[in-house]
Homo-oligomer: A and B are copies of this chain.
Amino acid sequence: MLVVEDEEVLAAAVARGLRREGMAVDISHDGADALGKLDVNRYDVVVLDRDLPGVHGDQVCRALASQATPTRILMLTASGTVDDRVDGLTLGADDYLGKPFAFSELVARLRALARRSRDALPPVLERHDLRLDPARREATRGGHFLRLTRKEFGVLEALMAADGAVVSAEDLLERVWDEHADPFTNTVRVTIMNLRRKLGRPPLIETVVGVGYRL
């Protein structure tokens, strides 16, 4: 989840509560920062306060809705009038909750949205004799099953989704690991190595020196 809320105390409280519910939560305190994070990370759901200083919540919403993304939006608003609800939904929000709200209701709605987001996401990726189904979490090569760990699966998914384009190690860190990953770590190289080993021959992952990796 990404929680976008300028009131820092509220944001922290919500994040803590959601983490207790088992969710992975990032926080933004303004619209510009939110757009940056949305650009860089993939979220299942964004909890978006409508009244943001600087870049307004509506703008964030529009920006997100305009691009074809599987990310769902839950709008938070101070005034729970019907007009707001209509506005929010026409702007591209997927759900809407007026402040003050019951925390349990927020959780329930986020769960529902996250499930929708997962359902909507998964086309089966196929390249060469590789087949990867994110929904079923299955990867095969030449019909033969591959037992991949989470990181390996994530890296392979990112490479396949890039469709032959080069993906930098930094991109992989942000997509497969999380936003606070140590930029000087060696773990991507090690994961790539293990992945290559499990994929077998002929080799499919090419190193582009100084830039990144591609299928």
A164: chain B residues at CB < 8 Å are: 136
Q: Distance in Å from the Cβ of A22 to the closest Cβ of chain B?
A: 4
A36-B105, A150-B211 known; A137 vs B166 contact (CB < 8 Å): yes
* Cα of A164 to Cα of B137 in the assembled complex, Å: 10
Interchain CB contact under 8 A, A137 and B40: no
By beta carbon, the residue of chain B nearest A23 is B183
Interchain CB contact under 8 A, B184 and A22: yes
Residue pairs across A and B with Cβ atoms less than 8 A apart, 26 shown, are A22-B170, A22-B183, A36-B105, A36-B108, A37-B108, A39-B109, A39-B112, A40-B108, A40-B111, A40-B112, A41-B108, A41-B112, A108-B179, A136-B164, A136-B166, A137-B166, A137-B208, A137-B211, A137-B212, A137-B214, A138-B165, A149-B209, A149-B210, A150-B209, A150-B210, A150-B211
